[in-house]
Structures are given as C-alpha cells and as structure tokens.
Amino acid sequence: MFEKILIANRGEIALRVIRACRELGVKTVAVHSTADSESLHVRFADESVCIGPAPSRASYLNIPVILSAAEVTGADAIHPGYGFLSENAEFAEVCVACGVHFVGPRPEMLRLMGNKVRAREAMLAAGLPLLPGSREVLKDEDEAEKMAVEVGLPVILKAAAGGGGRGMKIVRELGAVRQAYRTASSEALAAFSNGDMYLERYVEKPRHIELQIVADEHGHIIHLGERECSVQRRHQKLIEEAPSPAMTPALRERMGSVAIEAMKRIGYNNVGTIEFLLDEHGDFFFMEMNTRIQVEHPVTEQVTGIDLVRTQIELAAGATLPWTQDQIQIRGHAIECRINAEDPVSFAPSPGKIAAYHTPGGLGVRIDGMAYEQYKVLPHYDSLIAKLICFAEDRPRAIARARRALDEYVVEGIRTNIPFHKSLLRHEDFVRGEYDTRIVERLLAANANPPLRSVSGS
Ligand code: MV4
C-alpha cells in the first residue's frame, strides 16, 4: 500500500479521498489555492501545500507545481479526484515519469477514451453496440452531409475531443447539416483546440444509464451495476439513482457481460464508467467512457456496500480484485441529489457566505459535502456544495426518505437548488420511474405554466 497520497483536487471529493486514506492508514497531502486555505480538505489532511492563486489554471490544473508538492512532501501516489486533471493523459504520464503512482487507469486508457472517435472505434471492435454513425472524423461539411444521408435523420454532431455533452448539435433537416457542422466544429476548436467532429443517429427520448466497472492490474474485471443519470439540465446531472428504474435483471446481465468482455479486450484497469444510451425499445448503445471516479459514485456504494474510493486506491497499489462477479449483489435503492449553490429557478451560481447550515441525518441518509456554517462558496469553482445520498430497501422508500431529508436541510445566506429537488421528487413521471433526459425541461415548463387547480385544497 502507498504511504502518502497527494490529493490533486478540492471540495467534497478531496474530503472523500482523505476519508478513504484515513481508513487505509495512508497519510494525506492536500493541495489548495490561496482562496481555499479555509477549506475542509486542507484541515482534514495530514499536510497541505498552497499551490497558487484562485483560478484553476494557476493551481488545480498546474501540473509542475502539483508534482513539486508531491516531491517535497514525499507523496508516493496522486489521487486526481474528478474534473481538473483526472482524465489528463499527459498528467498521468508525468506522474509515472516522476516515480509517483497515478490513482487511475494507465495513461493509454485515458488517451484512448479521451478521443471519442477512437473510443467508439475501439468499443465497436471490442463488441459493444453502437448507434449508426461515422466511423472516422468527418473531413468536411460535404462528408457530414453524406453521412447524415447514410445514417438517416435526425443526427447528432459531436466533438471528438468533447464529452459530457459539450460541443454537440442536433440536426433534423438535411439542409441544416452544413451550417451545423461549421458552427459545431468551430465551437469545438475554440473549446478543446480540436475541431474534429463525428456524427451519430440521434435518439429522441433517451435514458442515460452508466455501468460501473472495477478492474485490477491482473486481468480481473467486474461491474457493480448501473446508475440512472437522466435527470440533468444542460448536461449537468442533478439527481442520480441506483439501480435504474428502467433496468431488468436480463438487461443488466446483457449490458454487464458485453461491457466486461470489451474491458478485457482493451486491458482496462482501475475504476471506470461506461455511458450507455437506452432507447424506448430497451436497446442500449455505447456513448463514451469515463476513466475516473465519478461524482455519483456513492449511489453504487450504497447498493453494493463497496467502498469505491478505497478500492480504487488498493487497485492502483497493485491489489487483486477481492470479489468475483457472482459475489456482487445490488440491494435496496439509493438516490443522490446534488446540492448546488445556485438559484433554484434561473440556475445561476449563488456564491457567498453560508450564514446558517444544518444537514439532515438519520437512518439511510449520507452527506458527502464540504460546506459548513460561515463557509464562503467561491465563484471560482463549480457550485456543488454537498451530495445528499438517501438509501432505503426499495425505490418508494428511498424517495420518501430523500423528501424528508430535503425538508430537514437548512442553508441560509446563499441560494441552493434544494427547492428544485423537492419539486422533482414529487414529479409524477419521476415517482413512476418513467422518465428520460427531458424530464428537467418538462418540470420547469410545467412550473412556469401551472395547470389550473380547484379552489379548495392546498
Ligand atoms: C446522444 C443523445 C441522443 N442520441 N447521442 C449527452 C451527454 C453525452 N454523453 C452524450 N449525450 C447525448 N448523446 C445520440 N446519438 C442524447 C444525449 C443527451 C442529450 C442531448 C441533448 C440534450 C440533452 C441531453 C441529455 C442527455 C443526453
């Protein structure tokens, strides 16, 4: 096992990694920007190093300074968390070159999955189902139009260097393909310094379902079931649950076995998540793969009883997977609400000082957070202040518990999306478990335009 891990991140995930390290008996080093010196990850780590000013470019994305911090503190591994440098192949390579273990997959896995066209090709070759689409980068707008005809409308243009929904354009008419290609490609060039595009048949009412993969460095690979991530707005997930209400044991078995076979073919290691799109007919298609621990990992932990962050660290240190697939059982139901410092209606960030803070508790309630009373939510970073994860024996009880917990949650001084979560957990489609990625839009439209009600009643 490692002796000392440097956590190249901040916020709730830095704290989550420190907790796993404590239980493993591994010492921790926090790095932080000048703006984060009062943060809990700095207080809870054994040591801390200030690595630069508030902007991420100068601190949490500053590779040379982070490696220097590892060197001076004698850390033998770096955990990148999610976001920031977590999927940066160069960073992982430089870590290895400096003799520091990177807690994550080998750099070549980051590089492969970072290019969505290469990832698609590799997963097709490894036996995963793909939507009809272009097999290579589109050369120009002529080729985009030609492929749109071949694939059939509607299509979606995606950036090879994108992911998570950035740099996408839906096209419904053949006459719109060329313009969409030009716009999308120049947006991708500006955002990722890479204008390469590909296209796929567009699925109208998809569910976003992802499968948690766990792999050691000795060829053993299992999955820990799926997470349903269809509750999202502008590609920001708001609620995730495990298991998916759309999943059946037969579908999980099929999805799991093709996914594991594909991961074996490419020699995947450490934890990862395969994103699938599930269509209305129950068919699933590979979308992309995330090569990091994810924000929503706790719902999988709750229904499997497995500590994913601890496991991730153990696997990076060379441990053999301690479970076989048949030992994995999905028990109960977990729902995660991302609590963001933002306006519940406009979704605009709401940074500032938290004047009063009371978190819910009781049976089946978990908070992975970083906020406290008097904590200042900074405008420099993402607006996630906590994740509320509620667990119960079945989905109706998990929903009831999440509503109860949200009612207990007190945050004053800043605005949060708690009211949004309360209304989503009462949305009839959500309660029935029959929803797709359009659910947030539809809830917001219904709230803006409420149906007439009878005069009595509340
Ligand atoms: C799609 C799709 C429909 N058809 N691809 C969004 C995140 C990224 N991983 C891929 N995403 C999607 N890809 C095909 N072929 C639907 C989504 C999608 C989405 C698209 C537009 C607006 C909101 C969305 C929410 C979830 C998924």
For residue range 96-107, list pLDDT tens digits in order.
999 999 999 999
What is the Cα–Cα distance from 4 to 26, expressed in whole angstroms?
5
* pLDDT interval class at 166 (50, 70, 90): confident
Taking residues 73-87, what's their average pLDDT?
Answer: 98
- pLDDT reading at 457 higher than 50: no
Locate the ligand 1 atom nearest the alpha carbon of residue 170 and give its number.
21
Taking residues 313-342, what's their average pLDDT?
Answer: 98
Query: Could you tell me how many residues make up the chain?
Result: 458
The pLDDT score that the predictor gives to residue 448 is 84
Give nearest CA residue, ligand 1 atom 6: 165
Task: Measure 54 CA to ligand 1 centroid, in angstroms.
Answer: 32
Give the number of C-alpha atoms closer than 13 A to the C-alpha of residue 172, restricted to the C-beta side. Answer: 2
Taking residues 238-251, what's their average pLDDT?
Answer: 97
Task: Measure 11 CA to ligand 1 centroid, in angstroms.
Answer: 28
Which has the closest alpha carbon to 101: 77, 70, 79?
Answer: 77
pLDDT per residue over 382-401, tens digit each? 999 999 999 999 999 999 99
Give nearest CA residue, ligand 1 atom 5: 202
Residues recognised as catalytic: 292
* pLDDT interval class at 162 (50, 70, 90): confident
Is the separation of the CB atoms in 298 and 237 below 8 Å? no
- pLDDT reading at 37 higher than 80: yes
- What's the whole-number average pLDDT of the chain? 96
Q: Coil, helix or strand for 14?
A: helix
Q: Which of 204, 209, 277, 290 to mutate to test the pocket of ligand 1 (most atoms within 8 A of CB)?
A: 277
Which has the closest alpha carbon to 365: 396, 401, 332?
Answer: 401
- pLDDT reading at 189 higher than 80: yes
Q: Which of 153, 437, 439 to mutate to test the pocket of ligand 1 (most atoms within 8 A of CB)?
A: 437
The pLDDT score that the predictor gives to residue 451 is 66
Instruction: Name the one residue in this structure whose structure tokens are 């950036």.
Output: 159
The pLDDT score that the predictor gives to residue 449 is 78
Strands 27-33 vs 47-52: parallel, antiparallel or unpaired = parallel
The pLDDT score that the predictor gives to residue 458 is 38
Q: Which of 87, 155, 208, 276 to mutate to test the pocket of ligand 1 (most atoms within 8 A of CB)?
A: 208
pLDDT per residue over 263-309, tens digit each? 999 999 999 999 999 999 999 999 999 999 999 999 999 999 999 99
Is the separation of the CB atoms in 180 and 171 below 8 Å? yes
The pLDDT score that the predictor gives to residue 456 is 47
What is the Cα–Cα distance from 418 to 280, expressed in whole angstroms?
30
What are residue 231's phi and psi, to 5 degrees? Answer: -85, 95
Which residues, including other chains, have CB under 8 Å from residue 131's CB and lie 6 or more apart? 200, 201, 203, 277, 285
Amino acid identity for residue 205 in this structure: K
**With left for phi above 0 and alpha for psi between -120 and 50, is residue 321 left, alpha or beta?**
beta
pLDDT per residue over 395-454, tens digit each? 999 999 999 999 999 999 999 999 999 999 999 999 999 999 999 999 999 888 776 655
Pocket of ligand 1, beta carbon within 6 A:
131, 156, 164-165, 200-203, 206, 208, 232, 235, 275, 277, 287-288, 437
The pLDDT score that the predictor gives to residue 170 is 96
Task: Measure 357 CA to ligand 1 centroid, in angstroms.
Answer: 36
Locate the ligand 1 atom nearest the alpha carbon of residue 201 and give its number.
15
- DSSP notation for 190-229: HHHS---EEEEEPPSS-EEEEEEEEE-TTS-EEEEEEEEE
Taking residues 189-209, what's their average pLDDT?
Answer: 95
Q: Coil, helix or strand for 113?
A: helix
**With left for phi above 0 and alpha for psi between -120 and 50, is residue 362 left, alpha or beta?**
left
Give nearest CA residue, ligand 1 atom 11: 165
ω into 154 cis (within 30 of 0): yes
